[in-house]
A and B are shown apart, each in its own frame.
Chain A
C-alpha cells in the first residue's frame, strides 16, 4: 500500500500480558517514529529510528516498553506486563529521511485497551 500500515487496529488484553504492535512504513522511508496518544490528549513521542543509527529512546516511559526495527522495514513496539495506564492509541509515522523539515506520514494507529 501507499501509506503507513499498522496492525492490529484494535487490541484488547488483560493486565499483565505482553503485547506486540506492528508498523509497516512507507517503502523507502528511512526514518520511523512511535507515538502514544492517551484519550483526549496530544501525542507523546516514544522512540525514533533513523537508518542504521542508534535509536532515540528518550520517550519510552519505562523499561516495560521496547521497540525494534530491522533495517529500513517493519518495526514492532513491545509492551511487557501491561498496566491499565498503557491503554492508549499507539501511532507510527515514517518520513523519507530524518531531517526536521521532512513531513512525517502517520498510520491509523492501534487502539490498545488493557482490562
Chain B
C-alpha cells in the first residue's frame, strides 16, 4: 500500500526567509502525481503545487518550488520569501487511481 510520511510536525520561519518542508512516500508505481496542499485555519484545502512523476523537471509556482527525487521517493516543498499569510498546515499527497493519500501534515508558523 502507498504511504506518505511528513517527518516534521512543526516548522518555523522568519518572514522573508526560506523554508523547506520534507515529504517521503512509498509506492511501487512508476507513474503517479504528487501534490502539496495548504490548509489555513479556515479548513479549506488549497492546492499549492503539483508534480507529475514522469517529469524530471521540478515544478515551480511563484515563491513555491519542489525538489522531486524519484529514486529516493522524496518530494520536498521550498517556500521562498516567506510571508505571514503562508502560515498554515501543509500536507503532502500522492495520487494514483483517483484518491489522494495524505501525509500527517506540517504546521508552519511565520515569525514577523
Contacts and interface: CB of A to CB of B under 8 A. Distances in A.
Interface residues of B, number: 26
B102 interface: yes
Contact of A42 (B35, B97, B105): B105
Given A42-B91, A42-B104, A48 B43 contact: no
Interface string A14-48: 00000000000000000101010000011111001
B19 interface: no
A48 B98 CA distance: 7
Contacts of B42: 108
Contacts of A50: 98
Interface string B51-75: 0100000000000000000000000
A76 to B, nearest CB: 19
Contacts of A89: 43
Contacts of A58: 99
Interface residues of A, number: 27
Nearest to B97: A100
A59 B99 contact: yes
Interface of B: 4, 6, 32-33, 35, 42-47, 50, 52, 91, 93, 95-105
